[in-house]
Amino acid sequence: MKVYISATLRNFFGRNPVIEISENNIKEILDKLTDEYPEAEKILFDEEGNLRKFVQIYVGDENKTQKEFWSDEIKDNSEVLLLPAVAGGAPRESIISDDRRKAVFFDDSEVERFGRHLLLKDIGVKGQKRIKAARVAVIGAGALGSPVIQYLAAAGVGTIKVIDFDEVKLENLQSQVIHTSRDLNRPKVASAKDKVRNINRNIDFEAANVKLEADNIVSEIDGYDLVIDCSDNFKARYLINDACVLCKIPLVFGAIYQFEGQVGIFNLDGGPCYRCQFPAPPEPGLVPTCAEGGAISPLPGIIGSIQANEALKLIIGIGEHLDGKLLTIDSLYLTSKILKIKKNHSCPICSAGAGITGVEDFDYEEFCGLKEEEQEIPIEGYTPEELAAKIESGEPITIVDVREPHERAILRFPNAIVIPIGQLARRKNELNPEQDTVFICKEGKRSILAINTLREAGYAGPLYNLKGGVDAMKDIVFSHEGAWL
């Protein structure tokens, strides 16, 4: 049978997207995979040997993650999918009430503008009025937000709120097509507002240049018909999910990584939420974000367009949709699957006996592993200037690069040795405990995981993190090279 490895896991499986295997149940498959690919054991299982909660196992379109299914015989030619968080049927009716639809009117220019929608039997005048009456909040004006915002505006969604606290950077322009060179250093929400005004000035656009936290997210999304998650980190995903559950707002989810994307609809009419599928996020550094791992330019256009399409179907009340399903798309190998998501009746946020009753009462920093435990040894680090000075002076120092091969190909680091995080424990003897060892990655996050991994393995030498990663060191010039790092 074939075992499909999701893009975010492939580095632990020799970069193989598909592995042919002869074992006939999940336990045997996992044992075989971890025997052949020892580095995969850390990403799949925690210290107690339990499957990590951010990993799901599917046989065909059936979720077989629970251990009770692991000894069941799997038929020959079945397809098994290892799916990590990156992150149906038709609706009974539109999420926009008839009263709100009837309160909407079109002028002559709108009849002309939306003529192609009005001609569609499944949309028509009633459907287009629902679109105009809709209030949609889009969280994130980056890669996924770019197509979502523009297609919602082009379709005539009456009120669009965009929430993002970031500014436009040059590296954003590769995939965030709502922004241009003229928008550099501007708030992304201001850039998005200009683009929407150029598409349709009749749209009520609300720009929220704020960072979502537990104490403000409910007030930012309350009163909207639909939330579209175009964020790029796990803290935001769980924060958005929980707020939508508590506010009873449907959520259109999207996620991308390298060549792979996911789309789903959560919290619709009592359906499953994001936590039902992924109860807990991965530990920091185990799965890179799209910012760390990259994504091919058209991918957010593909995934974001599907998100916008799902949103419009919910607003109009037509078609099949992804409620209780997760669509996965691999643009590199041109494959896609629709996987079923079951409601978790023990879910801490959406089940009948949910323990989480308010977003403000939940510590998302701690939940997503972003807060250092008090008992942990603080991670010491060098600034780019401090590390450069040590390198220039010739001071004995070991630099370990834990970045991916494609990241090193873009920007090398002089005299660094390469050790993937999964190999650190067994290769710790290659390091000299008598001198400083500095770990580097793209942004200074995975290197912290590397240091903690070595500490757990019993390494006693001095360990340091490059603060801000290689990104923070791009402007450093070494005299012996006469060029930028």
Q: Catalytic site residues?
A: 290, 441
Q: What residues does 329 pair with on adjacent strands? A: 261, 336
CB hemisphere CA count around 326 (13 angstroms) = 31
- Determine the angle formed by the axes of helices 188-199 and 145-155, rounding to 10 degrees: 30
Closest listed residue to residue 415, CA positions, set 396, 443, 428: 396
Token pair of 95, please?
Answer: 């999420």
Cβ neighbours of 420 (radius 10 Å): 16
3-state SS, residue 74: coil
- The CA distance from 223 to 218, in Å, is 9
Which residue type sits at 274? Y
Q: How far apart are the first and last CA of the chain?
A: 46
- The CA distance from 241 to 337, in Å, is 23
Which residue type sits at 427? R
Q: What residues does 438 pair with on adjacent strands? A: 399, 464
CA 257 centroid distance within chain: 7
* Contact by Cβ (8 Å): 191, 179: yes
* Contact by Cβ (8 Å): 403, 443: no
- The CA distance from 274 to 479, in Å, is 51
- The CA distance from 84 to 95, in Å, is 30
Token pair of 99, please?
Answer: 């009263």
3-state SS, residue 31: helix
3-state SS, residue 409: helix
Annotate 232-287 with DSSP letters as a single string.
-SHHHHHHHHHHHHHHT--EEEEEEEBTEEEEEEESSTT---HHHH-SSPPPTTTS
CB hemisphere CA count around 214 (13 angstroms) = 14
